[in-house]
Every structure is written in C-alpha cells, then in structure tokens.
Copies of this chain bind each other. A is one copy, B any other.
Amino acid sequence: MKIKAAIFGASGYTGQELIRILSGHPQVELAAVTSRRYAGVPVADVFPSLLGLTSLTYSNATPQEIAELCDVVFLALPHGVSMDMAPVFMQAGRKVIDLSADYRLRDLTTYEEWYAKHHSADLFGQAVYGLPERYRQEIKKSRLIANPGCYPTSIILGLAPALKNNLLSVSTIIADSASGVSGAGRDPQVGSLFCEVDGGFKAYKVGRHRHTPEIEQELNMLAGEKFAISFTPHLLPVKRGILSTIYATLKKDMTLPELHALYASFYEAEKFVRICPVGTYPNLSSVCGSNYCDVGLTIDPRTHRVIIISAIDNLIKGAAGQAVQNMNLVCSLPEESGLPMAPLYP
C-alpha cells in the first residue's frame, strides 16, 4: 500500500517541485495539496508543465482536515507560518517534514533574534535537523524533520569532513555562496524580475542573511567548539542551483591527495554526495535537476588555505529533494526512492 502524502502550501517553486517529484514516486500517493490563493484551481492550470502528471486541484482545507488524509505532510510554508501548523499535524500523529526555518535552530533565543517570536518552541526537542548525511539515524526515529536551508546544505556538506577531522582553523572560515533566483520564491517582486536579474550579479544581505545562525549551529556541532563565520550570499542569473566557495586555513600541512582521500572516504557510502576528481570542481550545470551535492577541493600552498567548493540544485537537494529523502527515511523506504538521479545537462 502506498504512503499518503500531503503538501501544505504547494503553490510556490518548492511546492511545485514536491508535486513534480512525488507524482513520480513509486511508493507514494499524493493525497492533497493546499493553496489559499489557488483554492479550487487544478494544479496543472497553475503549472502547465504538470499537465497529465497530476489531476489534483488545490484545496483550502484546514490542517486538521489535511491530517485526516495523509500519513506524512510536507509544510512548504514561510517561516512563522509553519510553527502554527506543525503542532496540529504532530498532535494528529502524522509525520511532518517542515521546509521552513521554524524548527532548524536548537536555541530559541537565536531563533527569535534572527527571525521572530516562536509559538511552538516546545516541539524543539522532538525536531531533528534533516540532513541525512549527518543525522540519518535520528531522522529515522523522528516525526518532526526540520528540512535544512539551501545555503546551509551546501556549506555543511562541504565542510563536514574537514571539521569532523579537526583540520581547520575555524575562525578563518569564509563561505562565499551564489544562488539561483528560484530561491527567492514565486511571489512577484521587482528584484526577481527577468530584467533585474539577467546579465547581473550581486551580493545581498551581506553579513546578515538568516541562514548564518543555522550554518554556524551545525558547523559548531561538527567542530565541537563555538565560532562565527563570514557568509556572503550572491544572486546568480540562473533559475536553479547554489554554489559555495569555502575558504579556511589548515591547522597543519597536508597534501591534496590526503585531503581528497579523506573526503572520498567520508562520503563513500552516500548516494547523493559526489567528490569531484582532483583538479576538477563542481558546476551548477552538473547537478541541477538532481538530488546530488558535488564537492571539489584544493589546497593553496601559497596561503595554506583549503578551498572547498560545493554545488547543489537549491530546489532539490536544497529543498524538495532533500525533503523527500527525509520522507523516505522517516517512512522506512529506500533512501533514494523516487528521487531524480540524472542532472539535466545541458
């Protein structure tokens, strides 16, 4: 029997991507998708690409009503909204994959400093940070998964092997990232218009992006010590993808083959992390359309810095794909089930 899934808030790019992936998932039946704006409208009218792939119509049902229809729910909602929905689904005994930031931080004060007042912080203890490569066992046992942010996914996966092995002078870490426009969502705003983005490139929210505490929380856990990083997001004229170029000073000398072997071994069993051959580096074109995170690296002997570059599709490994990966774990399905494997190149 198929698992019944629902998506709460399914009219944005992440919601669409969840519908796209789940409509082809062999062990899942997509039971309901909600949208206040499009209530009563067939999904394929809003997203013509899905014509023939889903016959669902957007519903305006309450969380209680949706909980009746599903085993697992994806919350593809803005932060601040999820925190009011998750408790309903939890109380109804459902499994919850929350794609907002509401349950990612373990520290309430930090959450309220960077985001807003929290209404269901009592669930913090039950939430697991949904990065399977890091918390696979915890995820399997949890019912509330805080699906990671897109930038954090790319940066944490890029640094995990080095931090776990205590290779880096942590105060020197700098993550310079660039994201495609879909990260800004489908709500119309001047800054996301084609004419504003195409041919352009810019940094934004320099030194104050909300993913910073999330990244630091996980990097600190990996290193076992407290430190701050510099994180600068940029807006790329592409639809999908995040590439992070990460700099840090090595604590002691090591060779590139040694470092490369350490990374390859760290991720050996992972289906969705690929280490680029020495001398090659990730390209958004080589991951977009898939759930892969590609990681490449080098050592600059002139400055004793390691340079790690990681790339993901922000809507897949950075959002909907990782959410389905988490659902697979939570529902005891094969971890890669239904997930897009082959990147769409060119």
Contact = CB atoms under 8 A, between A and B. Distances in A.
A237 B342 contact: no
B237 A194 contact: yes
Copies of the chain in the assembly: 4
Interface stretch (A128-136, A140-148, A277-285, A327-335): A277-285
Contact of A286 (B49, B276, B298): B49
Interface residues of A, number: 86
A74 interface: no
A95 interface: no
Given A241-B201, A342-B23, A207 B302 contact: yes
For the complex of A and B, the 3 pairs showing the least CB-CB separation, nearest first, are A200-B285, A188-B188, A195-B346
A245 interface: yes
A284 B202 contact: yes
A39 interface: no
A244 B304 CA distance: 21
A309 interface: yes
Nearest to A45: B277
Interface in A164-223: 171-172, 174, 176, 178, 181-182, 186, 188-190, 192-204, 206-207
